[in-house]
């Protein structure tokens, strides 16, 4: 099991989970494509990986924009020669009760999570099918398996992503492509740090109570770490067998069990 010289395109890798995965992949010898909406974050992450002796190339893209994705994936594949692994990870969060969501917010959430996963999958499959080898990892969530208040579009999108993952696993199997999903519990990334005060305000409780609610159903009251998610992504990316495809792996300190 090795990632040596594999080309891995990771969306949302300018921050949080995507960045931790990119660093871990680069340490394991992968050539990583940093794809993010923020050009500053792209530059910073590429420089960080190169400074550590890794190979990285940056593309700025909005994963929900068809032209951005087609152009960015082609640019990355031209640079490194192909795409072996896609980690569809870019995501956002908006918290409100269902009745307070605007249609624009709902559509934006579904566009980033679902259109983004579809567009990057389609663009990368072209290279994977041509070489009859590839791996796609979707960043799901425990919210692909359960629900929480205030997160209607997020929970809807993460459940939907599981459907896409399973279809890609079925269609890709005989063409050398496998697809799996990681379902993290709460990880203290900028996405969650921003959400804690917003949720506290929406529910009229303290930030401490929000954190307590987030962790109350875990087996040990602990947040999941970026490092744990990066290691699971390493395992899924390097295990080249159809024995493990179409699966969704909960990494949530036992918050959700199945």
**Which residue of 86, 109, 112, 117 would you call a contact of ligand NAD, by CB under 6 A?**
112
Interface region with ligand NAD, contact rule CB under 6 A, candidates 12-20, 24-32, 163-171, 199-207: 12-20
Residue 80 CA to residue 35 CA, distance in Å, equals 14
What is the arrangement of strands in the sheet containing 31-36, beginning at the earlier edge strand? 55-60, 31-36, 7-11, 85-88, 134-139, 177-184, 248-251
**Which residue of 23, 36, 59, 123 would you call a contact of ligand NAD, by CB under 6 A?**
36
Query: Which residue lies nearer to ligand NAD by CB, 173 or 256?
Result: 256
**Which residue of 25, 80, 127, 186 would you call a contact of ligand NAD, by CB under 6 A?**
186
**Which residue of 75, 110, 173, 191 would you call a contact of ligand NAD, by CB under 6 A?**
191
Three-class DSSP category at 129: helix
Near ligand NAD in 53-92, by CB under 6 A: 61-64, 89-92
**Which residue of 11, 120, 218, 245 would you call a contact of ligand NAD, by CB under 6 A?**
11
Q: What is the DSSP letter of 9?
A: E
Phi, psi of 35 (to 5 degrees): -120, 120
For 245, counting Cβ atoms within 10 Å of its Cβ (0-12 exposed, 13-18 middle, 19+ buried), the class is: buried
Query: Which residue lies nearer to ligand NAD by CB, 8 or 112?
Result: 112
Residue 169 as a binder of ligand NAD (CB under 6 A): the answer is no
Gyration radius from the chain CA atoms: 18
Contact 253, 220 (CB under 8 A): yes
Least gap, CB of 169 to ligand NAD (angstroms)? 19
- To the query of whether residue 25 is one of the catalytic residues in this protein, the response is no
Point out the catalytic residue in the list 25, 127, 138, 154: 154
Burial state string for 131-146 with b = 16 or more CB within 10 A and e = fewer than 16: eebbbbbbbbbbbbbb
Residue 189 as a binder of ligand NAD (CB under 6 A): the answer is yes
- Write out the residues near ligand NAD by the rule CB under 6 A: 11-12, 14-18, 36-38, 41, 61-64, 89-92, 112, 116, 139, 141, 184, 186-187, 189-192
């Amino acid at each position: 099991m090795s990632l040596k010289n594999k080309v891995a395109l990771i969306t949302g890798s300018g921050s949080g989970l995507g960045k931790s995965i990119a660093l871990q992949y680069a340490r394991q010898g992968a050539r990583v494509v940093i794809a993010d909406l923020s050009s500053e974050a792209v530059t910073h992450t590429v420089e960080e990986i190169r400074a550590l002796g890794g190979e990285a190339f940056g593309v700025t893209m909005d994963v929900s924009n068809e032209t951005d994705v087609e152009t960015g994936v082609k640019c990355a594949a031209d640079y490194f020669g192909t795409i072996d692994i896609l980690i569809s990870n870019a995501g956002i969060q908006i918290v409100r009760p269902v009745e307070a969501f605007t249609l624009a917010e709902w559509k934006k959430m579904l566009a980033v999570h679902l259109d983004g996963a579809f567009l990057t999958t389609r663009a990368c499959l072209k290279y994977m099918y041509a070489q009859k080898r590839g791996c796609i990892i979707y960043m799901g969530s425990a919210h692909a398996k359960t629900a929480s208040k205030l997160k209607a579009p997020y929970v809807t999108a993460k459940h939907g992503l599981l459907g896409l993952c399973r279809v890609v696993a079925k269609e890709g199997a005989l063409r050398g492509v496998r697809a799996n999903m990681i379902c993290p519990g709460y990880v203290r990334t900028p996405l969650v740090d921003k959400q804690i005060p917003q949720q506290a305000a929406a529910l009229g409780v303290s930030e401490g109570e929000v954190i307590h609610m987030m962790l109350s159903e875990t087996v040990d009251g602990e947040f999941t770490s970026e490092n744990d998610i990066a290691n699971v992504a390493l395992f899924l990316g390097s295990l080249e067998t159809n024995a493990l495809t179409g699966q969704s792996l909960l990494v949530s300190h036992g918050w959700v069990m199945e």
